[in-house]
Amino acid sequence: MIDQVKEMLKQRCKYLSNVEILQLHEAMEFAEKAHSGQKRATGEPYIIHPLEVSLILAEYKADIISLICALLHDVVEDTVIPLSEIEQHFGTQVAFIVDGLTKFEKGTIEKEEYGAVNTEKLLSTAMIDIRVAAIKLADRLHNMRTLAIKRIEKKIPYANETLLFFSPLAEKVGLYRLQEELEDLAFSYLNSSRYKQFKKFMEGHTERNSTTFHKFIEKFQSSDPHNVIIHKECRKLPLFKSYNLISEGHHISDLFTIHVTTKTALNCYTALGIIHSIFEPVPDQFMDEIAIEKHPFLKHLKTKVKMNNDIIHVIIQDERTQSFYENGIFVNIHETDMQFLSEKLLGNSIHSVKSIANNSIAFCELISFELFQKEITVFTPKMDVITLPVNSNIIDFAYAINPSLASKMTFAKVNGEVQSLQTTLQDMDIVEIHTKNKITANAKWLLHVQTSKAVKEIMEVVDEC
Protein backbone atom coordinates (compact mmCIF):
# COMPACT_ATOMS: atom_id res chain seq x y z
CA MET A 1 0.00 0.00 0.00
CA ILE A 2 2.84 2.40 0.85
CA ASP A 3 4.47 1.84 -2.54
CA GLN A 4 1.13 2.45 -4.27
CA VAL A 5 0.61 5.83 -2.58
CA LYS A 6 4.25 6.81 -3.21
CA GLU A 7 3.82 6.01 -6.89
CA MET A 8 0.63 8.11 -7.01
CA LEU A 9 2.55 11.03 -5.50
CA LYS A 10 5.36 10.67 -8.02
CA GLN A 11 2.86 10.67 -10.89
CA ARG A 12 1.03 13.71 -9.56
CA CYS A 13 4.28 15.64 -9.10
CA LYS A 14 5.46 15.44 -12.71
CA TYR A 15 5.22 19.23 -12.89
CA LEU A 16 8.35 19.43 -10.68
CA SER A 17 11.87 19.72 -12.12
CA ASN A 18 14.22 16.72 -12.09
CA VAL A 19 16.18 18.19 -9.17
CA GLU A 20 12.96 18.74 -7.21
CA ILE A 21 11.84 15.15 -7.90
CA LEU A 22 15.09 13.93 -6.31
CA GLN A 23 14.44 16.17 -3.29
CA LEU A 24 10.92 14.75 -3.00
CA HIS A 25 12.27 11.18 -3.02
CA GLU A 26 14.77 12.07 -0.30
CA ALA A 27 12.00 13.53 1.89
CA MET A 28 9.80 10.45 1.32
CA GLU A 29 12.61 8.13 2.40
CA PHE A 30 13.41 10.31 5.43
CA ALA A 31 9.76 10.43 6.55
CA GLU A 32 9.22 6.70 5.98
CA LYS A 33 12.28 5.84 8.05
CA ALA A 34 11.27 8.29 10.82
CA HIS A 35 7.74 6.86 11.11
CA SER A 36 8.87 3.23 10.74
CA GLY A 37 6.75 0.90 12.88
CA GLN A 38 4.13 3.56 13.68
CA LYS A 39 0.47 3.00 12.81
CA ARG A 40 -2.55 5.28 12.64
CA ALA A 41 -5.87 4.58 14.37
CA THR A 42 -7.05 3.18 11.02
CA GLY A 43 -4.45 0.41 11.37
CA GLU A 44 -2.48 1.50 8.31
CA PRO A 45 1.22 2.49 8.45
CA TYR A 46 1.60 6.06 9.71
CA ILE A 47 3.61 7.14 6.65
CA ILE A 48 0.40 6.88 4.59
CA HIS A 49 -0.86 10.06 6.28
CA PRO A 50 1.99 12.42 5.28
CA LEU A 51 2.00 10.89 1.80
CA GLU A 52 -1.74 11.59 1.46
CA VAL A 53 -1.27 15.15 2.73
CA SER A 54 1.37 15.68 0.04
CA LEU A 55 -0.98 14.18 -2.57
CA ILE A 56 -3.65 16.73 -1.65
CA LEU A 57 -1.18 19.61 -2.03
CA ALA A 58 0.11 18.23 -5.34
CA GLU A 59 -3.43 18.66 -6.75
CA TYR A 60 -2.74 22.40 -6.44
CA LYS A 61 0.74 22.09 -7.98
CA ALA A 62 2.33 22.97 -4.64
CA ASP A 63 5.99 23.95 -4.65
CA ILE A 64 8.70 21.51 -3.54
CA ILE A 65 9.17 23.19 -0.14
CA SER A 66 5.48 22.66 0.69
CA LEU A 67 5.59 19.03 -0.43
CA ILE A 68 8.70 18.26 1.62
CA CYS A 69 7.17 19.93 4.69
CA ALA A 70 3.96 17.96 4.21
CA LEU A 71 5.96 14.73 4.22
CA LEU A 72 7.82 15.78 7.36
CA HIS A 73 5.08 17.68 9.21
CA ASP A 74 4.63 15.09 12.00
CA VAL A 75 8.25 13.94 12.32
CA VAL A 76 9.29 16.25 15.18
CA GLU A 77 5.98 15.87 17.00
CA ASP A 78 5.65 12.09 16.75
CA THR A 79 9.20 10.70 16.52
CA VAL A 80 12.53 11.13 18.32
CA ILE A 81 14.06 13.11 15.45
CA PRO A 82 14.77 16.73 16.51
CA LEU A 83 14.10 19.82 14.42
CA SER A 84 17.85 20.39 14.10
CA GLU A 85 18.20 17.19 12.09
CA ILE A 86 15.47 18.29 9.68
CA GLU A 87 17.22 21.64 9.28
CA GLN A 88 20.52 19.87 8.63
CA HIS A 89 19.00 17.70 5.88
CA PHE A 90 16.47 20.05 4.28
CA GLY A 91 17.40 23.62 5.24
CA THR A 92 16.10 26.47 7.38
CA GLN A 93 12.92 27.15 5.34
CA VAL A 94 11.69 23.58 5.75
CA ALA A 95 12.65 23.56 9.44
CA PHE A 96 10.75 26.83 10.04
CA ILE A 97 7.56 25.51 8.43
CA VAL A 98 7.78 22.11 10.16
CA ASP A 99 8.25 23.88 13.49
CA GLY A 100 5.13 25.98 12.80
CA LEU A 101 3.18 22.77 12.23
CA THR A 102 4.53 21.05 15.33
CA LYS A 103 2.35 21.23 18.44
CA PHE A 104 3.79 22.11 21.82
CA GLU A 105 4.25 19.33 24.34
CA LYS A 106 0.98 19.09 26.21
CA GLY A 107 2.29 18.65 29.74
CA THR A 108 -0.30 19.82 32.27
CA ILE A 109 -1.99 22.40 30.02
CA GLU A 110 -5.79 22.21 29.97
CA LYS A 111 -7.35 20.99 26.71
CA GLU A 112 -8.90 24.34 25.70
CA GLU A 113 -5.73 26.29 26.41
CA TYR A 114 -3.58 23.67 24.65
CA GLY A 115 -5.66 23.99 21.48
CA ALA A 116 -5.52 27.78 21.67
CA VAL A 117 -1.74 27.86 22.18
CA ASN A 118 -1.21 25.70 19.09
CA THR A 119 -3.64 27.75 17.00
CA GLU A 120 -1.81 30.93 17.96
CA LYS A 121 1.50 29.33 16.98
CA LEU A 122 0.09 28.13 13.67
CA LEU A 123 -1.31 31.54 12.66
CA SER A 124 1.73 33.46 13.89
CA THR A 125 3.98 31.28 11.74
CA ALA A 126 1.56 31.50 8.79
CA MET A 127 1.88 35.29 8.92
CA ILE A 128 5.53 34.79 7.96
CA ASP A 129 5.03 31.85 5.59
CA ILE A 130 1.49 31.17 4.37
CA ARG A 131 2.50 27.64 3.33
CA VAL A 132 2.16 26.65 7.00
CA ALA A 133 -1.59 27.26 6.71
CA ALA A 134 -1.87 25.41 3.39
CA ILE A 135 -0.14 22.30 4.75
CA LYS A 136 -2.23 22.36 7.93
CA LEU A 137 -5.37 22.52 5.78
CA ALA A 138 -4.28 19.50 3.73
CA ASP A 139 -3.52 17.70 6.99
CA ARG A 140 -7.00 18.52 8.29
CA LEU A 141 -8.62 17.33 5.07
CA HIS A 142 -6.96 13.92 5.23
CA ASN A 143 -7.94 13.62 8.89
CA MET A 144 -11.53 14.47 7.96
CA ARG A 145 -11.48 11.80 5.25
CA THR A 146 -10.56 9.22 7.91
CA LEU A 147 -12.73 10.61 10.72
CA ALA A 148 -15.25 7.75 10.52
CA ILE A 149 -13.13 5.53 12.80
CA LYS A 150 -13.33 8.03 15.69
CA ARG A 151 -15.91 7.86 18.48
CA ILE A 152 -18.92 10.17 18.13
CA GLU A 153 -17.74 12.40 21.00
CA LYS A 154 -14.54 13.03 19.00
CA LYS A 155 -16.21 13.44 15.61
CA ILE A 156 -18.63 16.24 16.50
CA PRO A 157 -16.19 18.79 17.99
CA TYR A 158 -13.62 17.96 15.30
CA ALA A 159 -16.16 18.53 12.51
CA ASN A 160 -17.41 21.70 14.20
CA GLU A 161 -13.88 23.11 14.45
CA THR A 162 -13.41 22.29 10.77
CA LEU A 163 -16.40 24.44 9.82
CA LEU A 164 -15.63 27.32 12.19
CA PHE A 165 -11.87 27.62 11.68
CA PHE A 166 -10.38 25.53 8.88
CA SER A 167 -13.01 26.15 6.21
CA PRO A 168 -12.72 29.97 6.35
CA LEU A 169 -8.92 29.63 6.54
CA ALA A 170 -9.02 27.58 3.31
CA GLU A 171 -11.03 30.37 1.69
CA LYS A 172 -8.45 32.93 2.84
CA VAL A 173 -5.60 31.10 1.09
CA GLY A 174 -7.63 30.32 -2.03
CA LEU A 175 -7.87 26.54 -1.66
CA TYR A 176 -11.52 26.50 -2.71
CA ARG A 177 -11.86 22.85 -3.74
CA LEU A 178 -10.27 21.83 -0.46
CA GLN A 179 -12.68 24.12 1.39
CA GLU A 180 -15.64 22.56 -0.35
CA GLU A 181 -14.62 19.03 0.64
CA LEU A 182 -13.92 20.10 4.24
CA GLU A 183 -17.39 21.61 4.56
CA ASP A 184 -19.03 18.65 2.86
CA LEU A 185 -17.41 16.13 5.23
CA ALA A 186 -18.00 18.25 8.35
CA PHE A 187 -21.68 18.78 7.48
CA SER A 188 -22.14 15.01 6.97
CA TYR A 189 -20.80 14.29 10.47
CA LEU A 190 -22.66 17.10 12.23
CA ASN A 191 -26.09 16.29 10.81
CA SER A 192 -26.12 13.23 8.58
CA SER A 193 -29.87 13.17 7.78
CA ARG A 194 -30.07 16.88 6.94
CA TYR A 195 -26.88 16.59 4.93
CA LYS A 196 -28.37 13.81 2.77
CA GLN A 197 -31.66 15.67 2.30
CA PHE A 198 -30.01 18.91 1.28
CA LYS A 199 -27.51 17.17 -0.98
CA LYS A 200 -30.40 15.54 -2.86
CA PHE A 201 -32.16 18.91 -3.04
CA MET A 202 -29.03 20.53 -4.52
CA GLU A 203 -28.46 17.74 -7.03
CA GLY A 204 -31.86 18.45 -8.57
CA HIS A 205 -31.18 22.18 -8.80
CA THR A 206 -27.64 21.61 -10.10
CA GLU A 207 -29.05 19.67 -13.06
CA ARG A 208 -31.57 22.45 -13.78
CA ASN A 209 -28.89 25.11 -13.42
CA SER A 210 -26.65 23.22 -15.86
CA THR A 211 -29.34 23.67 -18.52
CA THR A 212 -29.49 27.41 -17.76
CA PHE A 213 -25.69 27.62 -17.98
CA HIS A 214 -25.58 26.03 -21.44
CA LYS A 215 -28.32 28.34 -22.74
CA PHE A 216 -26.42 31.36 -21.39
CA ILE A 217 -23.13 30.29 -22.99
CA GLU A 218 -24.82 29.45 -26.31
CA LYS A 219 -26.34 32.94 -26.50
CA PHE A 220 -23.07 34.60 -25.47
CA GLN A 221 -20.93 32.74 -28.01
CA SER A 222 -23.29 33.57 -30.84
CA SER A 223 -22.64 37.27 -30.05
CA ASP A 224 -18.86 36.88 -29.51
CA PRO A 225 -17.26 36.91 -33.00
CA HIS A 226 -13.77 37.49 -31.60
CA ASN A 227 -13.96 34.57 -29.16
CA VAL A 228 -13.23 36.70 -26.10
CA ILE A 229 -14.09 33.79 -23.79
CA ILE A 230 -11.34 31.19 -23.43
CA HIS A 231 -12.94 29.23 -20.58
CA LYS A 232 -16.34 29.00 -18.95
CA GLU A 233 -17.84 26.97 -16.14
CA CYS A 234 -20.72 26.98 -13.70
CA ARG A 235 -19.80 26.78 -10.02
CA LYS A 236 -21.92 26.18 -6.98
CA LEU A 237 -21.16 27.22 -3.42
CA PRO A 238 -20.02 24.54 -0.95
CA LEU A 239 -22.94 22.49 0.39
CA PHE A 240 -22.88 23.79 3.97
CA LYS A 241 -22.62 27.40 2.86
CA SER A 242 -25.51 26.79 0.45
CA TYR A 243 -27.55 25.24 3.26
CA ASN A 244 -26.97 28.28 5.48
CA LEU A 245 -27.94 30.73 2.73
CA ILE A 246 -31.15 28.86 1.94
CA SER A 247 -31.91 28.75 5.70
CA GLU A 248 -31.48 32.54 5.78
CA GLY A 249 -34.02 32.95 2.98
CA HIS A 250 -31.73 33.37 -0.05
CA HIS A 251 -32.96 32.29 -3.46
CA ILE A 252 -31.54 29.14 -5.03
CA SER A 253 -29.99 31.26 -7.81
CA ASP A 254 -27.63 32.81 -5.22
CA LEU A 255 -25.86 29.45 -4.92
CA PHE A 256 -24.69 29.25 -8.53
CA THR A 257 -22.28 31.46 -10.46
CA ILE A 258 -21.16 31.37 -14.09
CA HIS A 259 -17.41 32.03 -14.33
CA VAL A 260 -16.30 33.45 -17.67
CA THR A 261 -12.55 33.65 -18.30
CA THR A 262 -10.87 35.93 -20.84
CA LYS A 263 -7.24 36.34 -21.85
CA THR A 264 -6.73 39.79 -20.33
CA ALA A 265 -8.37 42.20 -17.90
CA LEU A 266 -9.27 44.47 -20.84
CA ASN A 267 -11.15 41.59 -22.46
CA CYS A 268 -13.20 41.25 -19.26
CA TYR A 269 -14.83 44.60 -20.04
CA THR A 270 -15.48 43.49 -23.64
CA ALA A 271 -17.18 40.35 -22.34
CA LEU A 272 -19.22 42.44 -19.89
CA GLY A 273 -20.42 44.65 -22.75
CA ILE A 274 -21.54 41.60 -24.73
CA ILE A 275 -23.35 40.10 -21.74
CA HIS A 276 -25.17 43.33 -20.93
CA SER A 277 -26.17 43.76 -24.58
CA ILE A 278 -27.76 40.28 -24.71
CA PHE A 279 -29.25 40.01 -21.22
CA GLU A 280 -31.00 42.58 -19.05
CA PRO A 281 -28.69 43.65 -16.19
CA VAL A 282 -30.15 43.58 -12.67
CA PRO A 283 -29.91 47.18 -11.32
CA ASP A 284 -27.21 47.98 -8.74
CA GLN A 285 -25.64 44.52 -8.99
CA PHE A 286 -22.48 45.34 -10.99
CA MET A 287 -19.14 45.42 -9.15
CA ASP A 288 -15.78 46.23 -10.72
CA GLU A 289 -13.17 44.40 -8.66
CA ILE A 290 -10.51 44.92 -11.30
CA ALA A 291 -10.40 48.70 -10.97
CA ILE A 292 -11.25 48.57 -7.24
CA GLU A 293 -9.24 45.84 -5.55
CA LYS A 294 -11.10 43.89 -2.86
CA HIS A 295 -8.81 40.85 -2.93
CA PRO A 296 -5.11 40.79 -3.88
CA PHE A 297 -5.45 37.93 -6.36
CA LEU A 298 -9.07 38.00 -7.50
CA LYS A 299 -9.41 40.57 -10.27
CA HIS A 300 -12.86 40.22 -11.73
CA LEU A 301 -16.13 41.86 -12.67
CA LYS A 302 -19.37 40.77 -11.03
CA THR A 303 -22.80 41.24 -12.47
CA LYS A 304 -26.30 39.78 -12.35
CA VAL A 305 -28.51 39.50 -15.41
CA LYS A 306 -31.97 38.22 -16.25
CA MET A 307 -32.50 35.37 -18.70
CA ASN A 308 -36.18 34.58 -19.09
CA ASN A 309 -37.32 34.16 -15.47
CA ASP A 310 -33.88 33.36 -14.10
CA ILE A 311 -31.44 35.64 -12.28
CA ILE A 312 -27.90 34.66 -13.27
CA HIS A 313 -24.78 35.56 -11.29
CA VAL A 314 -21.77 36.11 -13.56
CA ILE A 315 -18.10 36.56 -12.69
CA ILE A 316 -15.82 37.70 -15.52
CA GLN A 317 -12.12 37.19 -14.86
CA ASP A 318 -8.76 36.99 -16.61
CA GLU A 319 -6.50 33.93 -16.78
CA ARG A 320 -4.54 34.97 -13.71
CA THR A 321 -7.63 35.03 -11.53
CA GLN A 322 -8.80 31.72 -12.95
CA SER A 323 -5.44 30.24 -11.95
CA PHE A 324 -5.89 31.51 -8.39
CA TYR A 325 -9.32 29.87 -8.21
CA GLU A 326 -7.71 26.59 -9.29
CA ASN A 327 -4.43 26.59 -7.33
CA GLY A 328 -4.78 29.25 -4.61
CA ILE A 329 -1.57 30.59 -3.11
CA PHE A 330 0.60 28.23 -5.13
CA VAL A 331 0.05 30.35 -8.25
CA ASN A 332 2.09 33.13 -6.63
CA ILE A 333 4.69 31.16 -4.67
CA HIS A 334 7.62 31.69 -7.04
CA GLU A 335 6.89 35.33 -7.88
CA THR A 336 6.20 36.96 -4.53
CA ASP A 337 8.11 37.56 -1.34
CA MET A 338 6.68 34.97 1.04
CA GLN A 339 5.99 37.29 3.95
CA PHE A 340 4.42 39.88 1.63
CA LEU A 341 2.16 37.16 0.20
CA SER A 342 1.23 35.96 3.69
CA GLU A 343 0.35 39.45 4.93
CA LYS A 344 -1.63 40.18 1.76
CA LEU A 345 -3.85 37.19 2.40
CA LEU A 346 -4.13 37.30 6.20
CA GLY A 347 -4.00 41.07 6.72
CA ASN A 348 -2.67 42.64 9.92
CA SER A 349 -5.24 41.18 12.31
CA ILE A 350 -2.93 38.54 13.77
CA HIS A 351 -0.30 41.10 14.84
CA SER A 352 -2.94 43.42 16.31
CA VAL A 353 -4.77 40.68 18.19
CA LYS A 354 -1.51 39.32 19.64
CA SER A 355 -0.71 42.76 21.02
CA ILE A 356 -3.99 43.10 22.96
CA ALA A 357 -4.86 39.49 23.90
CA ASN A 358 -3.92 38.51 27.44
CA ASN A 359 -3.59 34.82 26.62
CA SER A 360 -3.96 32.29 23.82
CA ILE A 361 -7.65 31.64 24.51
CA ALA A 362 -8.41 35.36 24.20
CA PHE A 363 -6.31 35.45 21.04
CA CYS A 364 -8.36 32.66 19.44
CA GLU A 365 -11.68 34.27 20.38
CA LEU A 366 -10.64 37.60 18.89
CA ILE A 367 -8.96 36.25 15.77
CA SER A 368 -11.84 33.94 14.87
CA PHE A 369 -14.09 37.00 14.79
CA GLU A 370 -11.73 39.36 13.00
CA LEU A 371 -9.96 37.07 10.53
CA PHE A 372 -12.98 35.02 9.48
CA GLN A 373 -15.81 37.50 9.88
CA LYS A 374 -17.71 38.61 6.79
CA GLU A 375 -16.15 41.74 5.35
CA ILE A 376 -17.33 45.02 3.91
CA THR A 377 -15.55 47.31 1.47
CA VAL A 378 -15.40 51.00 2.38
CA PHE A 379 -13.77 53.82 0.40
CA THR A 380 -11.85 57.00 1.14
CA PRO A 381 -12.84 60.10 -0.87
CA LYS A 382 -9.95 59.24 -3.24
CA MET A 383 -11.55 55.80 -3.70
CA ASP A 384 -8.81 53.93 -1.86
CA VAL A 385 -10.24 50.61 -0.68
CA ILE A 386 -10.42 49.71 3.01
CA THR A 387 -11.66 46.23 3.98
CA LEU A 388 -13.23 45.87 7.43
CA PRO A 389 -15.20 43.25 9.36
CA VAL A 390 -18.99 43.58 9.21
CA ASN A 391 -20.33 45.97 11.91
CA SER A 392 -17.17 48.11 11.93
CA ASN A 393 -17.71 51.81 12.46
CA ILE A 394 -16.10 55.11 11.46
CA ILE A 395 -13.49 54.84 14.23
CA ASP A 396 -12.40 51.40 12.96
CA PHE A 397 -12.19 52.84 9.45
CA ALA A 398 -10.04 55.77 10.55
CA TYR A 399 -7.54 53.57 12.39
CA ALA A 400 -7.34 51.24 9.41
CA ILE A 401 -6.21 54.20 7.28
CA ASN A 402 -3.91 56.21 9.54
CA PRO A 403 -3.72 55.77 13.35
CA SER A 404 -2.13 59.18 14.02
CA LEU A 405 -4.89 61.00 12.14
CA ALA A 406 -7.60 58.77 13.62
CA SER A 407 -6.59 59.79 17.14
CA LYS A 408 -7.23 63.45 16.19
CA MET A 409 -10.61 62.82 14.53
CA THR A 410 -13.46 65.19 15.37
CA PHE A 411 -16.18 64.23 12.90
CA ALA A 412 -16.72 62.33 9.68
CA LYS A 413 -18.97 62.30 6.65
CA VAL A 414 -20.46 59.11 5.23
CA ASN A 415 -21.58 59.46 1.62
CA GLY A 416 -21.40 63.24 2.02
CA GLU A 417 -23.41 63.50 5.25
CA VAL A 418 -22.03 64.19 8.75
CA GLN A 419 -22.40 61.14 10.99
CA SER A 420 -21.58 60.15 14.57
CA LEU A 421 -18.17 58.49 14.94
CA GLN A 422 -19.94 55.40 16.27
CA THR A 423 -21.92 54.99 13.03
CA THR A 424 -21.80 51.43 11.73
CA LEU A 425 -20.56 51.39 8.14
CA GLN A 426 -22.19 49.59 5.24
CA ASP A 427 -20.62 47.94 2.23
CA MET A 428 -19.52 50.48 -0.43
CA ASP A 429 -19.81 53.54 1.86
CA ILE A 430 -17.48 56.50 1.16
CA VAL A 431 -16.07 57.97 4.37
CA GLU A 432 -14.36 61.33 4.81
CA ILE A 433 -12.43 61.95 8.06
CA HIS A 434 -12.00 65.43 9.62
CA THR A 435 -9.39 66.12 12.32
CA LYS A 436 -8.03 68.73 14.75
CA ASN A 437 -4.44 69.43 15.77
CA LYS A 438 -4.89 67.73 19.13
CA ILE A 439 -5.67 64.26 20.41
CA THR A 440 -9.38 63.56 20.62
CA ALA A 441 -9.26 59.76 21.14
CA ASN A 442 -10.45 58.60 24.55
CA ALA A 443 -11.29 55.44 26.47
CA LYS A 444 -14.98 55.67 25.53
CA TRP A 445 -14.04 54.88 21.94
CA LEU A 446 -13.03 51.40 23.12
CA LEU A 447 -16.68 50.63 23.85
CA HIS A 448 -17.63 51.01 20.20
CA VAL A 449 -14.81 49.69 18.01
CA GLN A 450 -14.73 46.21 16.46
CA THR A 451 -11.19 45.82 15.14
CA SER A 452 -8.14 44.85 17.17
CA LYS A 453 -6.05 47.49 15.40
CA ALA A 454 -8.35 50.24 16.64
CA VAL A 455 -8.36 48.79 20.18
CA LYS A 456 -4.56 48.58 20.22
CA GLU A 457 -4.02 52.14 18.93
CA ILE A 458 -6.64 53.72 21.23
CA MET A 459 -5.19 51.95 24.27
CA GLU A 460 -1.74 53.28 23.44
CA VAL A 461 -3.05 56.83 23.07
CA VAL A 462 -5.04 56.62 26.32
CA ASP A 463 -2.01 55.27 28.19
CA GLU A 464 0.14 58.17 26.98
CA CYS A 465 -2.39 60.85 27.96
Catalytic residues: 77-78
Number of C-beta neighbours around residue 107 at 10 A: 6
Distance from C-alpha of 263 to C-alpha of 169, rounded to nearest angstrom? 29
Roughly how many angstroms between the first and final C-alpha of the chain, as a whole number?
A: 67
> What's the helix, strand, coil split of the chain in %, to 5?
60, 15, 30
Please compute Rg for the chain using Cα positions. Answer: 24
Q: What are the distances in angstroms from CA 136 to CA 38, 46, 121, 364, 427?
A: 21, 17, 12, 17, 32
Q: How many helices (H) and strands (E) does the chain have?
A: 22, 11
Distance from C-alpha of 73 to C-alpha of 441, rounded to nearest angstrom? 46
Distance from C-alpha of 197 to C-alpha of 277, rounded to nearest angstrom? 39
Q: Using CA atoms in the order 298, 300, 305, 311, what is the torsion angle rounded to 10 degrees?
A: -10
Three-state DSSP state, 117: helix
